[in-house]
Structure 1
Amino acid sequence: MSLPAPQGVSSPTFKAPPLDGSLAFPELLDYNAIHSAKHTLFRYDDLDNGGFRTISWEEGVAAVHTAGHYFKKFIQGEAPITIAILANTNSITYFAVITGLMRLGFIPFPISTRNSAAAVAHLIKSTDSRHLIVSRDPSLQKVADTVCHQFWEAEGGDKITTIPMPCFNDLFSTKPGRYEPLPSVHPDWSQTAFIMHSSGTTRFPSPIYATHKHLLHHAVRPYYGDVDLCGQVYGSQSAAMYHVMGFISITNSTATGSIMACFPPVEPPVKPTAEHVLSSIINTGTTIVATIPSFLVEWARNPQAVEALKATTAVAYASGPLEKEAGDTLVANDILLLSVYGLTESTVSLVLPNSIPVEGWEWMKVARNVDVAFVPTDEQDVYRLYVKDGPLHSPAVLDTEIDGVKAFDTKDLVQLHPSNRKLFKVYGRADEQIMHSTGEKTNPVPIEAGLVLDKHIAAAMMFGRAKFQPGVLILPTPEETFDPNDTTRLAEYRTSIWDTITKANEQAPQHSRIYKEMIIVANPAKPFEFTVKGSLRRKAVLKAYEQEIESLYKTVDEASETDIVIPRLWTLKNVVTMVRDIVTAVFQQNIGDTDNIFLAGGDSLTATSIRNSVLRAIRKSKVVPVAVIRALPHNFVFDLPSIAAMSAFIHGIVVGACAALGAGPATRNDEADEEGYPEIDSVPDLGRSLVKLRERGGEPPLIMLHGAGGLYFEYVFLAEKFRTAVWTMTVTPDTPLTSLREMAAFYFAKIKAERPTGPYRLASYSASSVLLVVLTKLFEGNGDEVVQAVILDHFPAMFMYSANKFGNPDPRVAENIKMMLDAGMSAIGDMMDRDAHGSTLRRSKNLLLEAWNGGPANEISRKSVGTIKAYLTAIAEFVYDLTTDETGAASMELMAQWMRTIKAPITVVVAAEGSVKSVAEEDREMWADLGTKRFLPDARVVFVKGGHYEFLTDDSVIRLLQEGY
């Protein structure tokens, strides 16, 4: 067969090596060092050197021989010997290590750093390795120690020799021509040259042996493509050298003269994130981008990234499916987008076609040197793919026969194009393996088998193709069936099966773990479909729940799986605690505050989980606007890969947001007495009585009055929820708390200074209901119009109800006011306990009660308690003076007469579990509306669900507050 794409025919620096079998792969390295000495082997980022530096073939091969001599000091015995590698290092150093071992005649076996100690021990034992090269980072050193100990115990005293991974400078400091060449080597073609391993989606990964014949087939493969790769800058940034995508870049460069573009050879190595890879593509002038789908999805949404990719020759992706929207966007921008299909055991698709098939970018052609068989399935146009043994390409694994020829069963299902049968695309796995957008794979079979052992689960089916992480559809047993729209029941059911899921997660690879929020419970109206044999009809079930699955992933994009306690006080210490809890929950083990989470085994999925958890916590805290959260760097976990670094960054974001909103002490760094602080979202700037949470042109803002504590933390979330302007009042040292009338006059002046003319919109919360009426009367008495007056979960008559319970005592008598204040504080505590947020409010309650009773307290605790006492006393005195009649009772009629002079429309919102529960049970029927209609028959009363605190965030309440604006 003729070679369609000869390589390097016009290159002045590269002479293509002989690929006729006269030289084995290790010999090709020396050939290039002699005949293509000045040709570039590597480019890597170096902004101080104009963007990149280069390493020539003669320099690279000098490092290969230097590496060989380094390892000869540690390895006893004659070749071939298998040498395992467990290292987190840069690609250039890894190249020299792999090829140096091969040049010695040894068999390199690179092992993924994502494997557990048990999996590494299994691989070493199954390949009879007795030497393990380990990098210096503590996490891998710990794995190596565990492996060596397990091996020593299991093998009756046999030992594994560990070898330190050399650094870049150890290998690349030797000048070409000044090193001692290694003895020549010419291995047999059937001899094992290289070992890789499978992904380990079953119990343990399996070794895959490639002979020198296989390596030659890898090397010759580009010659059956469409493009001369010589001089092309091939992007090797995305794939590790222990992955087949990384290793192929070595064989391609050796055979064709393509240039490997890599990250700089630094330690620890640069993490391949979408941002880092794109930057390196630009810096090194990468012309052929080889990457994973998840990066392409991110780049497709970034106009700057799209512009950078337009300058390349081609963009190829592998290791998983690509979302159609992202692919369409790239192709629409004239980017040559190529789908590549291959496995560790065998390559399949054509190397670098020169155009996209007219049928679509998803479709691929089989390489001209590869012989395949498409075996029909029971689905139209869907075939099981087999790769046959042949003279030009032989799979590393031959596990079956097709038409009398040995073949490799890929276990992949492919779809042939209906009109062009030479084109195919991946349809799925015959064994239902799920391919994620990260290139990682989940085998759902053992996980599902473990889940159905639970007595609450009738069936389980995992999903997650083309997504970052998997989820699971659960069919409850008949006695457990319920409507999943019942959120309370859903939470209970998830909790009931969580122990079983935890056990399944313990046996699954990290990227295959199921998070609590990734559980979809079947709707009784949409039952699962089963085959005659009783197995799930996967395609039908996935189709039926397609909408639920997509909705779930959209939700997860803004949330996470961890139930983390969110700080009410955002000190740096508390932020560190929160981030530490998040990282611990994601890793399911403790990580040091200064440890690099990626050296500890983190990957893109764990980074996503940590990021989502952090963003969820910040969003739920209501101290940072959504616009700020959305603007946070997508890769901040990669850029700040330790608990300490992330915490400092997050604390800075919160401090900045609080400063913009006028908050201060909530984020202070002085933590000597932090444990005594009340847990609140923000503490007001002591110099500002009026805080503008959100401005919008000249429209009238809604002015929120504070509750008994004098703070505005309950309203911070309105800055992001509201579409109209919203201001809030807060107590400062200047606020006159000795008289309610003086306080109202003070606020009146502050509002007038900011907004001299009306109309005005007011809302009160809790104990500020009377203050709202007094302030409204001031505005209306001044000739101003109050167009909206909303009283949230309170009504002035409630003060009369409480006073009459005690016989309407004179609040100016010390023992009387103490009794009344204690009762008021007790009511506040009861409402905190009843609220859905009770667990997070309980500490605030305890701190306030300690300060209330004269216990140890810091400045903020004392000030909060002082404000509550002064404010409630001023209200009690005002209500007593206003409503006490000649009999000494608080007169309902006097209160009604006073309130009915208001012109503004009044709306009262009543929370079902809020203030109304402070009324004695025998009186609740009469006081169900908090007494509103007895005083203001024309007032509007709105009943909502929730407790005294949680109802504020209800969407219906927020809409009500914005009515007409």
Structure 2
Amino acid sequence: MGVAPFSALLRWLASSRSAQAASGSQYVPAPRDGSLTLPEVYNWHYQHNPHQRVFLWHDHTGPVHLTYSDVIPAAQRAARYVAEAAGIELVDDMTPAKLVVILAASDTVTYATTLIGLSLAGIPVFPITPRFSASVVSKLVAVSGACHIFVSGEAAIQELAQEAVKVLSLSSDNTPGISIMPSYDDLYRVQSPLHPLPSRRYDPSALAIITHSSGSTSFPKPIPWSVRCTSNYSIVDAARDYVNEVTACPAIELFHAWGIMFLSFLPMTGYIMAVLPPSSPAVVPTADAVYQCMTECRAAYALAPPSLITQWSCDLNRYPYLRQMKGIVYGGRFLSRPVGDLVVKNGVRLHTAYGTTETGLISTIFRATDDEDWEYFEINSQLNGAILPNNDAEQSYRLVVTAGPTQALPVINSEIDGKDAHVPGDSLLPHPNKPGYWKVLGRVDDQIMLSTGEIVYPSSIESQLCQDERIKGAVMFGRGQSKVGVVIELDYASAAKEGEHDCVIDIGDMVMPVVERVNAMSPPYARIDRRLTIFAHESKPFTYSLKGTPRRALVMKDYQPEIEAAFQQYNAEASQTQSVPLIPL
């Protein structure tokens, strides 16, 4: 599809200027009608909003900010740096460029600026998490056909890239080169004059970026996003006015689809991204560092992973500032219900966002109003599709996202009414009293169907178990049985701090009260039986996904003998305790 048809097809969308313009006459919002691709939106801001703040952080000198007049030239330098190292010719037409991989732990500003520059130059990029093994990285690099890998300065990451290329060389003669990522100084602290990129047109169907799945349910999969896809995903429901609102994202991960999406929202919403100070190596986003970033930058909003919210919830000193904020949003993993209830009870405006790599953001960034229903989200009005009943006992629903003018689908796994569609695979539950409010029950693939016909969604229960620092991971089981059990991997280091690392049984007794507390919040059929609680062996550790959750299928395979033995013993004990009915004479 050419550029003109693409623009005409999308121009019917919201033609009026965004309501966000009311926030100030100096800011000119980019068109939200789809007439501009995402790289064209960045150029729009460079022309119309050169002094609009993009990034903000606080260092020893005080607040520091970068505007579009800083970021876009730096992004162009990043693109030229990459092109020169990888031997890519920069052209002014829609000729596809070779793909490059980023395998780095660079600071947010440097990483984001590089991604923006590659988008402007039309160079497709595949950001890969440095948490993967060399074997996984080599397979992802191979399937992408990358010509070059850019790494950050950490020795461990450089060794990871070298090992991945070494593994790749065993099966291919065409291996990519390796170069160091551009640094913040390379991009922003230069004296030489800027050499602008060639002015170019963008083919909406061309590959822009490859994202990878987290590996929660299977081997990490590369998922290609076209220019049209990235442009569609950047336009989200403006349920709130974010122009000039400081939004803290210091824990954002730009090798993950979640981080890439939040970066793409920035030019379409006008929010200012507060980050940790640029440095090499990058500052680790600990709970203290992230909170300090929020307070020093006076953030109105924040994106935070559930692990950080959990740590803040235990510190009363955090609440005075947290309750001043307009909202904190989390996503990607479940947040323990007791933790969420606690922070909301203390006046924090907590929100959940929901999306997938295959569909983009499904929810709004924040709900339109603040209330105590923090587990629920509202559907993003830009989304095409339908919500259909699963016809199960829980009265749950499934979302079907359909391809359309505002919705590109990089992965198609269904069809509805003759249209290509994608079904994310999560079961949703409507709010009992608020139409339009939904929450995620869990993945359909993970659900445990008991012999009684009842269905257990394990993810939220497992997440609540793992809120205890002594529990590293938990995987529930019981499909086809009358009861559910769990395999728990203990964090022996945490237990040892308390002098309780005598034996697994002792630690097991120690954490059983945690299981009992979680049981008290679960429906009767989803309660874990003590006799079906298995503790993982140190010789058979869990393997984890990018999200930090256990890879369920592998754990179930590794512990199948223990699970079968536990049920054999449980069933034997149950049969012995059953009373024999008397036969009347």
Q: TM-score range by the shorter chain?
A: 0.7 to 0.9
Aligned to 1:319: 332
User: In 2, Cα distance between the equivalents of 1:428 and 1:473?
Assistant: 13
The answer to whether the Cα contact below 8 Å between 2:413 and 2:423 also exists between their aligned partners in 1 is yes
Deviations 1:97-137, CA, capped at 9 Å, x for gaps: 11111222111110011111111111111111121111121
2:44 corresponds to 1:31: yes
**Structure 1 residues 57 and 145: alpha-carbon distance in aligned structure 2, compared to 1, 3 A threshold:** same
Aligned to 2:417: 403
| Cα distance, 1:363 vs structure 2 | 1.6
The answer to whether the Cα contact below 8 Å between 2:386 and 2:399 also exists between their aligned partners in 1 is yes
| Cα distance, 1:401 vs structure 2 | 0.9
SS in 2 for 1:154: coil
Deviations 1:708-760, CA, capped at 9 Å, x for gaps: xxxxxxxxxxxxxxxxxxxxxxxxxxxxxxxxxxxxxxxxxxxxxxxxxxxxx
| Cα distance, 1:320 vs structure 2 | 1.5
Aligned to 1:465: 463
2:341 corresponds to 1:338: no
Q: Describe how 1:68-79 pairs up with structure 2 within 5 A.
A: 68-77=79-88, 79=96
Aligned to 1:235: 248
1:199 maps to amino acid: S
**Structure 1 residues 586 and 201: alpha-carbon distance in aligned structure 2, compared to 1, 3 A threshold:** closer
The answer to whether the Cα contact below 8 Å between 1:373 and 1:388 also exists between their aligned partners in 2 is no
2:282 maps to amino acid: P
| Cα distance, 1:36 vs structure 2 | 1.0
Aligned to 1:17: 30
2:527 corresponds to 1:543: yes
2:111 maps to amino acid: Y
The answer to whether the Cα contact below 8 Å between 1:244 and 1:344 also exists between their aligned partners in 2 is yes
2:150 corresponds to 1:133: yes
User: In 2, Cα distance between the equivalents of 1:423 and 1:236?
Assistant: 25
| Cα distance, 1:540 vs structure 2 | 7.2
User: In 1, Cα distance between the equivalents of 2:207 and 2:117?
Assistant: 16
Deviations 1:257-298, CA, capped at 9 Å, x for gaps: 211111110111111222211111111111111111121122
**Structure 1 residues 191 and 258: alpha-carbon distance in aligned structure 2, compared to 1, 3 A threshold:** same
Q: Which of 195, 214, 220 is the matching residue for 2:235? A: 220
Gaps of 5+ in 2: 1-12, 90-95, 450-457, 479-484, 491-502, 513-521, 551-585
User: In 1, Cα distance between the equivalents of 2:530 and 2:321?
Assistant: 34
Q: Which of 27, 41, 61 is the matching residue for 1:49? A: 61
Aligned to 2:576: none
SS in 1 for 2:28: coil
Q: Describe how 1:44-193 pairs up with structure 2 within 5 A.
A: 44-46=57-59, 48-50=60-62, 52-77=63-88, 79-155=96-172, 157-174=173-190, 178-193=193-208
Rg larger in structure: 1
| Cα distance, 1:385 vs structure 2 | 2.5
The answer to whether the Cα contact below 8 Å between 1:373 and 1:402 also exists between their aligned partners in 2 is no
SS in 1 for 2:365: coil
**Structure 1 residues 17 and 541: alpha-carbon distance in aligned structure 2, compared to 1, 3 A threshold:** same
Deviations 1:825-857, CA, capped at 9 Å, x for gaps: xxxxxxxxxxxxxxxxxxxxxxxxxxxxxxxxx
The answer to whether the Cα contact below 8 Å between 2:215 and 2:546 also exists between their aligned partners in 1 is no
The answer to whether the Cα contact below 8 Å between 1:83 and 1:131 also exists between their aligned partners in 2 is yes
TM-score (norm 1): 0.46
User: In 1, Cα distance between the equivalents of 2:17 and 2:380?
Assistant: 11
Number of residue pairs matched? 483
2:305 corresponds to 1:288: no
Aligned alpha-carbon RMSD (Å): 3.6
User: In 2, Cα distance between the equivalents of 1:254 and 1:84?
Assistant: 24
| Cα distance, 1:561 vs structure 2 | 8.2
SS in 2 for 1:61: helix
1:171 maps to amino acid: L
User: In 1, Cα distance between the equivalents of 2:320 and 2:18?
Assistant: 29
Q: Does 1 or 2 have the higher relative contact order (CA < 8 Å, sep 6+)?
A: 2
Aligned to 2:496: none
Aligned to 1:244: 257
User: In 2, Cα distance between the equivalents of 1:363 and 1:27?
Assistant: 34
Deviations 1:447-494, CA, capped at 9 Å, x for gaps: xxxxxxxxxxxxxx997234253235689xxxxxxxx9xxxxxxxxx9
The answer to whether the Cα contact below 8 Å between 1:231 and 1:258 also exists between their aligned partners in 2 is yes
The answer to whether the Cα contact below 8 Å between 1:120 and 1:147 also exists between their aligned partners in 2 is yes
User: In 2, Cα distance between the equivalents of 1:539 and 1:4?
Assistant: 49
User: In 1, Cα distance between the equivalents of 2:279 and 2:414?
Assistant: 45
The answer to whether the Cα contact below 8 Å between 1:474 and 1:519 also exists between their aligned partners in 2 is no
**Structure 1 residues 327 and 202: alpha-carbon distance in aligned structure 2, compared to 1, 3 A threshold:** closer
User: In 1, Cα distance between the equivalents of 2:525 and 2:52?
Assistant: 55
Deviations 1:239-268, CA, capped at 9 Å, x for gaps: 211122321232122122211111110111
Q: Describe how 1:563-642 pairs up with structure 2 within 5 A.
A: none
2:415 maps to amino acid: E
User: In 2, Cα distance between the equivalents of 1:369 and 1:183?
Assistant: 32
SS in 2 for 1:393: coil
Aligned to 1:685: none
SS in 2 for 1:20: coil
The answer to whether the Cα contact below 8 Å between 1:43 and 1:260 also exists between their aligned partners in 2 is yes
The answer to whether the Cα contact below 8 Å between 2:473 and 2:542 also exists between their aligned partners in 1 is no
User: In 2, Cα distance between the equivalents of 1:375 and 1:101?
Assistant: 42
User: In 1, Cα distance between the equivalents of 2:61 and 2:531?
Assistant: 51
Q: Larger % of helix: which?
A: 1
| Cα distance, 1:203 vs structure 2 | 4.7
- Structure 1 window deviating more from structure 2 (72-81 vs 401-410): it is 72-81
The answer to whether the Cα contact below 8 Å between 2:151 and 2:158 also exists between their aligned partners in 1 is yes
User: In 2, Cα distance between the equivalents of 1:516 and 1:327?
Assistant: 31
The answer to whether the Cα contact below 8 Å between 1:8 and 1:257 also exists between their aligned partners in 2 is no
The answer to whether the Cα contact below 8 Å between 1:386 and 1:409 also exists between their aligned partners in 2 is yes
The answer to whether the Cα contact below 8 Å between 2:86 and 2:147 also exists between their aligned partners in 1 is no
| Cα distance, 1:229 vs structure 2 | 0.9
Aligned to 2:222: 207
SS in 2 for 1:545: strand
User: In 2, Cα distance between the equivalents of 1:378 and 1:586?
Assistant: 35
Aligned to 1:458: none
Deviations 1:376-405, CA, capped at 9 Å, x for gaps: 142232122322223223333221112332
SS in 2 for 1:162: strand
The answer to whether the Cα contact below 8 Å between 2:329 and 2:351 also exists between their aligned partners in 1 is yes
Q: Which of 397, 407, 413 is the matching residue for 1:383? A: 397
| Cα distance, 1:209 vs structure 2 | 1.2
| Cα distance, 1:548 vs structure 2 | 8.6
Aligned to 2:516: none
SS in 1 for 2:235: helix
| Cα distance, 1:519 vs structure 2 | 7.8
The answer to whether the Cα contact below 8 Å between 1:151 and 1:160 also exists between their aligned partners in 2 is no
2:529 maps to amino acid: Y
Aligned to 1:923: none
Aligned to 2:557: none
SS in 2 for 1:385: strand
The answer to whether the Cα contact below 8 Å between 1:237 and 1:261 also exists between their aligned partners in 2 is yes
Q: Which of 382, 385, 393 is the matching residue for 1:369? A: 382
| Cα distance, 1:204 vs structure 2 | 2.1
Deviations 1:420-470, CA, capped at 9 Å, x for gaps: 44221000111118xxxxxxxxxx99xxxxxxxxxxxxxxx9972342532
The answer to whether the Cα contact below 8 Å between 1:135 and 1:141 also exists between their aligned partners in 2 is yes
User: In 2, Cα distance between the equivalents of 1:307 and 1:548?
Assistant: 43
User: In 2, Cα distance between the equivalents of 1:417 and 1:354?
Assistant: 16
1:190 maps to amino acid: S
Deviations 1:198-223, CA, capped at 9 Å, x for gaps: 011345211111111122222221xx
**Structure 1 residues 348 and 603: alpha-carbon distance in aligned structure 2, compared to 1, 3 A threshold:** closer
The answer to whether the Cα contact below 8 Å between 1:112 and 1:242 also exists between their aligned partners in 2 is yes
Aligned to 1:350: 364
